[in-house]
Chains A and B, each alone.
Chain A
């Protein structure tokens, strides 16, 4: 019974991871920047909703503020700081260090501003629904629906629109895309905004589930997001969703069978095994494109 229930729990966890992983992988696939500050964007998004709650703004406004704040932050970082370093010839590794530094600044800045406190995140959870062996709250169900909607929207955007085609072309061959007249700067802007918005949503989903918020929420969540993005092949939203599903279900199944302490071990064990057997998972998208596009 618990093994079956764990599948349901895994889907909810997967939905949280998937939203973050899709945002991360779309941006990574296009810009080639392994953006560690994505964690900070998740935290900023979550805090935006938290602050809205503190000042008693309507719930809908608070929820919208998460993607908006994180999108604005990511866009500003991408178009200014990261672009500055890219123009000065920063390589892939240097850019990782820049994003890591930005993340630390964001995390400890928020930590100081929030007086190093852990706050309760009083988001309405809704009633508990019992569907067969599964028990979920209305809010958890909504998170799954949001994840599915994000996935559907991204797939539509990438495969059915001119913007999506341009984006995919840039991801594969940025120089050729520029030569063909694709407005690369505009595409990159869209991707930073999109990635940031999804980071904000993911951060919000995490704190809704965890019921608390502090400056480290993004950093705590980033390893799972990164694992799903890497496992699913950089740049692939479908891969990210499948990887998130695998991570979510496996970690919950292991928690159900072997104990919660082993769930994270199992999740990252999968990542290690996949990278051993398919080392191109991370490099797949970037092998032919060592260029940073910001």
Chain B
């Protein structure tokens, strides 16, 4: 088992050389502005690719449709982590060594953040990460920004929702893969904090042909609700067997569950009517109605041929809205700084999002760009609401509880505020 370690060390060495050879954070001043989306396009986390698409293409459309950043069109550079942190390091190293126009990074996610964040920070590349790990709550990385709640916050919001619903006991059912496990500590801590009995904990190795024994143990514990995150096929097998062997109870998914790659297998396994009746998810993002939401949905529809079907799953999708806001923010910061160099525009990210006297509130990239060109200071309020970054570059808003009718946008059925989560210790 030493081979992967040697491989990682060798890769790191090569990246070091690449870093020495590259030009740090400076970018080309002509040609398209490169925005890197780093994510899992292949491997066991490849389902994330459709989430990334639902962020990248609408945001790209919004920026380029408004004339681009500083008059330059934005091009998307996709870096595939192959769902593996070592592969991610190699792929990103290669991209950094061969591309001179990279201005910002969307990502990395939980799978590859540990290896990529230090590398990207050393290259002075502002990154809007999608990793919820607590390690980034008080991050020392100057170029790291996060506009999604940390994992514990999502778990705590789920526990608060369970408490509001009057569930006396809950069980957790989580995949053992890295992506699924991130929310579990927050869920367990939150459940205990709100005084709900944790009746059973099941951790499922993904893609097994059966989980019947785990289902029977869960049924024996008689939970009033189940809190869950796993990949779609694993969930389908587990909950399909739960339906066969016993009876369904309300299921609360984490922010990692809402997507068609989860819903379709689940609907197939437990039936669409049961899914509509029992399944809710607590998702990142503040359920707001503002012009930014309208702009986001319009952008989604404009690029729908590039998104997985049905397109309705991306309209009003809180996760996608947060990612979209992240890219719009980065673009506005570049415009405000008159530079695509990370060392220059990084501090402007806070400036274009923080409230302040005399600032013009804008909800779209086009409006923000126009206001900046007119000499105004701006506060961008996004489709996920205001982005209020802390000194650790974390913006942490309310979370929505949603239900998911078939072939229709998600419906918000509740809200857990940041204040509620913080009161719980988040």
Q: Real complex partners, A and B?
A: yes
Q: Give chain A nearest CB distance to B389 CB in angstroms.
A: 34
- Check B207–A259 contact: CB distance below 8 A: no
- Check A125–B244 contact: CB distance below 8 A: yes
Contact of B209 among A5, A16, A128, A260 (CB under 8 A): A16
Q: Which residues of chain B have C-beta atoms less than 8 A from A209's C-beta?
A: 209-210, 237
- Check A260–B214 contact: CB distance below 8 A: yes
- Check B216–A256 contact: CB distance below 8 A: yes
| Residues 72 to 95 of chain A near chain B (Cβ within 8 Å) | none
Do A120 and B213 contact each other (CB < 8 Å), given the known contacts A210-B233, A261-B205? no
- Check A255–B213 contact: CB distance below 8 A: yes
Do A13 and B269 contact each other (CB < 8 Å), given the known contacts A120-B264, A259-B214, A261-B176? no
Q: Give chain A nearest CB distance to B235 CB in angstroms.
A: 9
- Check B205–A263 contact: CB distance below 8 A: yes
| Residues 385 to 404 of chain B near chain A (Cβ within 8 Å) | none
Answer whether residue B39 sits at the interface, using C-beta atoms and an 8 A cutoff.
no
Given contacts A120-B268, A137-B244, 11 further A-B contacts (CB under 8 A): A2-B213, A117-B308, A119-B268, A120-B264, A120-B267, A128-B244, A211-B265, A212-B269, A220-B207, A260-B204, A261-B204
- Check B208–A5 contact: CB distance below 8 A: no
Answer whether residue A22 sits at the interface, using C-beta atoms and an 8 A cutoff.
no
Q: Which residues of chain B have C-beta atoms less than 8 A from A241's C-beta?
A: none
Q: Which residues of chain A have C-beta atoms less than 8 A from B208's C-beta?
A: 251, 260, 263-264
Answer whether residue B282 sits at the interface, using C-beta atoms and an 8 A cutoff.
no
A-B pairs with beta carbons under 8 Å apart, 26 shown: A2-B220, A6-B216, A13-B209, A117-B261, A117-B308, A119-B268, A120-B268, A128-B244, A128-B245, A135-B244, A210-B207, A210-B233, A211-B237, A211-B240, A211-B269, A212-B237, A220-B207, A221-B209, A252-B210, A252-B213, A255-B214, A260-B205, A260-B211, A260-B213, A261-B176, A264-B208
The chain A residue with its CB closest to the CB of B235 is A212
Taken together as a complex, chains A and B put the C-alpha atoms of A252 and B208 apart, in Å, by 11
Answer whether residue B217 sits at the interface, using C-beta atoms and an 8 A cutoff.
yes
Q: Which residues of chain A have C-beta atoms less than 8 A from B237's C-beta?
A: 209-212
Answer whether residue A206 sits at the interface, using C-beta atoms and an 8 A cutoff.
yes
Answer whether residue A216 sits at the interface, using C-beta atoms and an 8 A cutoff.
yes
Contact of B46 among A116, A137, A211, A251 (CB under 8 A): A116
Q: Give chain B nearest CB distance to A256 CB in angstroms.
A: 4
Q: Give chain B nearest CB distance to A75 CB in angstroms.
A: 26
Q: Which residues of chain B have C-beta atoms less than 8 A from A12's C-beta?
A: 210, 212
The 4 A-B pairs with the shortest beta carbon distances in the complex, nearest first, are A120-B268, A255-B213, A256-B213, A9-B212
- Check B213–A9 contact: CB distance below 8 A: yes
The chain B residue with its CB closest to the CB of A122 is B268
Q: Which residues of chain B have C-beta atoms less than 8 A from A221's C-beta?
A: 209
The chain A residue with its CB closest to the CB of B175 is A261
The chain B residue with its CB closest to the CB of A5 is B216
Taken together as a complex, chains A and B put the C-alpha atoms of A221 and B217 apart, in Å, by 24
Interface string of A107-130 (1 = CB under 8 A from B): 000000001111111100100100
Answer whether residue B202 sits at the interface, using C-beta atoms and an 8 A cutoff.
yes
Q: Which residues of chain A have C-beta atoms less than 8 A from B244's C-beta?
A: 125, 128, 135, 137
Answer whether residue A253 sits at the interface, using C-beta atoms and an 8 A cutoff.
yes
Q: Which residues of chain A have C-beta atoms less than 8 A from B209's C-beta?
A: 13, 16-17, 206, 209-210, 221, 224
Taken together as a complex, chains A and B put the C-alpha atoms of A79 and B342 apart, in Å, by 58
Answer whether residue A291 sits at the interface, using C-beta atoms and an 8 A cutoff.
no
Taken together as a complex, chains A and B put the C-alpha atoms of A17 and B210 apart, in Å, by 11
- Check A118–B264 contact: CB distance below 8 A: yes
- Check A211–B308 contact: CB distance below 8 A: no
Q: Which residues of chain A have C-beta atoms less than 8 A from B202's C-beta?
A: 259-260
Q: Which residues of chain A have C-beta atoms less than 8 A from B240's C-beta?
A: 210-211
Taken together as a complex, chains A and B put the C-alpha atoms of A220 and B176 apart, in Å, by 15
The chain A residue with its CB closest to the CB of B214 is A260
- Check B268–A212 contact: CB distance below 8 A: yes
Q: Which residues of chain B have C-beta atoms less than 8 A from A117's C-beta?
A: 260-261, 264, 308
Q: Which residues of chain B have C-beta atoms less than 8 A from A13's C-beta?
A: 209-210
Q: Which residues of chain A have C-beta atoms less than 8 A from B269's C-beta?
A: 120, 211-212
The chain B residue with its CB closest to the CB of A13 is B210
Do A5 and B203 contact each other (CB < 8 Å), given the known contacts A128-B245, A135-B244, A210-B237? no
The chain B residue with its CB closest to the CB of A210 is B237
Answer whether residue B171 sits at the interface, using C-beta atoms and an 8 A cutoff.
no
By CB atoms of chain B within 10 A, which of A115, A210, A221, A252 has the most? A210
Contact of A120 among B46, B216, B236 (CB under 8 A): B236
By CB atoms of chain A within 10 A, which of B47, B212, B220, B261 has the most? B212
Q: Which residues of chain B have C-beta atoms less than 8 A from A263's C-beta?
A: 205, 208, 213
- Check A5–B233 contact: CB distance below 8 A: no
Q: Which residues of chain B have C-beta atoms less than 8 A from A259's C-beta?
A: 202-203, 214
